[in-house]
Structure 1
Amino acid sequence: MARSKEFDEHDVLLKAMRLFWEQGYEKTSLQDLVTHMGIHRRSLYDTFGDKHSLFVKAMEQYDKQTSAAIKAEVTRGRTSQEAIRFFFDYLIEVNDGRPLGCLYVNSATELALRDPEVGELTNEGFKNEERFLADLIRKGQQSGEIPLGKDADQLAASLQATMIGIRVLARTSTDRKKLHRLADASVAMLDAP
């Protein structure tokens, strides 16, 4: 007879996600995971597979959790430009005890070139974010808030590149004033003729 799990799979996955986010894939050992997740090594293998499989599941969970939350928060009662500005401010200012930066950006810089599965996940996450930004820009163009002559896809790619850079810089000693200046310059592109 199979034993029932003595832990909540979702909760321990969130713990693994946070540890990978804080330390990165390479620096996180199996023992770190077992200790941080509060489960036995055998339970980790039986539930999630190996370390890499757990990492992929943690990335997928991160995408589900953060994408929906950010999109809902960013668009809540805001015009397109306000939403984009809020998105930048959110990336710079949110300090709710989460690790610095972004699990996807961290994983892309650490692993994507040599791990095709991680590369595919990060690229898909970046494409989704870029599409979200392009949709906001098109909405702003339809409302007259953003000039129609601008290429929404190109603007979205530029905005996202700055957002990725901000996420990387957020992990360093870069001060927030500098990050806000970078955001201001990017948002100003939306108004320029």
Structure 2
Amino acid sequence: MGRSKEFEENEVLEKAMKLFWEQGYEKTSMNDLTEHMGIHRRSLYDTFVDKHTLYLKAMDRFGEQFVCSIINGIRHLQTAREALQFIFNSIIEGEPDAPSGCMMVNSAIELANRDPEIDARSRAAFERAEDILTDIVTWGQSNGEFTTRYEARELAEQLHNALLGLRVTVRTSLPKEKLKQMAEMSIRMIEK
């Protein structure tokens, strides 16, 4: 008879996600994972198969959490501009007890050019972000906040590009005030 799990899978996955997010895939060893997650190596393999599969699950978890936090954060805002400000500020301020930056961006930079599964997940996450931004820009165009000189998708792609740069830059020592100025300029560039 097999041993029962002595841990909550979602809790240890959360710990693995944060460690991968902070250190990256290659820098994170199996010993780092088992120590940080508080489980035995055998339990890690039994539950998550291997390091790569665990990383993919951690990416999925990050993506789900990020989208949920954005959607919940903008749900009750009154203007599209406020929604964009919320998204930019979420990136700049980060979350309590979480690494800075974005796990999807970090994964794309570190692994996408040589790992098709990481590339696919990164691209899917970026497309989802562009979909959300397209909806916000469409909202702003329909109520007269944003320019209609360009299609909503084109403006969303430009905003997403700015967000990608910001997600990398927040990992540096640049002052938050400068990051907020950069975010503000990105929003102002699409206003009427």
Q: The TM-score by the shorter chain falls in which range?
A: over 0.9
Q: Distance in 1 between matches of 2:39 and 2:18?
A: 15
Equivalent AA in structure 2 for residue 78 of structure 1: Q
Instruction: State TM-score, norm by structure 1.
Output: 0.95
**Alignment partner, residue 55 of structure 1:** 55
Q: Distance in 2 between matches of 1:95 and 1:132?
A: 20
Equivalent AA in structure 2 for residue 58 of structure 1: A
1:2 CA displacement: 2.5
* % identity of equivalent residues: 47
Q: Distance in 2 between matches of 1:68 and 1:80?
A: 18
**Alignment partner, residue 87 of structure 2:** 87
Partner SS state of residue 172, structure 1: coil
CA RMSD, 1 decimal = 1.2
Q: Distance in 2 between matches of 1:25 and 1:67?
A: 22
1:144 CA displacement: 2.4
1:155 equivalenced with 2:155 (yes/no): yes
Equivalent AA in structure 1 for residue 85 of structure 2: R
**Alignment partner, residue 133 of structure 2:** 133
The gaps in structure 2 that reach 5 residues or longer are: none
**Alignment partner, residue 189 of structure 2:** 189
**Alignment partner, residue 46 of structure 2:** 46
Equivalent AA in structure 1 for residue 38 of structure 2: G
How many residue pairs end up in the alignment?
192
Q: Distance in 2 between matches of 1:56 and 1:79?
A: 35
Q: Distance in 2 between matches of 1:59 and 1:168?
A: 17
Post-superposition CA distance 1:12-70 (Å, at most 9, x none): 00000010011000000000000000100000000001100000011011111121112
Q: Distance in 2 between matches of 1:66 and 1:129?
A: 10
Q: How does 1:6-155 map to 2 (within 5 A)?
A: 6-155=6-155
Q: Distance in 1 between matches of 2:28 and 2:102?
A: 16
Partner SS state of residue 157, structure 1: helix
Q: Distance in 2 between matches of 1:51 and 1:117?
A: 13
1:95 CA displacement: 4.7
Post-superposition CA distance 1:124-181 (Å, at most 9, x none): 0000001100111111222222233331111101111111111101111111122112
The gaps in structure 1 that reach 5 residues or longer are: none
CA contact (8 A) 2:94 2:100 kept: no
Q: Distance in 1 between matches of 2:89 and 2:187?
A: 11
Structure 1, 129-138 or 77-86: larger mean CA deviation = 77-86
Q: Distance in 1 between matches of 2:96 and 2:158?
A: 27
1:94 CA displacement: 3.2
CA contact (8 A) 2:94 2:101 kept: no
Q: Distance in 1 between matches of 2:15 and 2:156?
A: 32
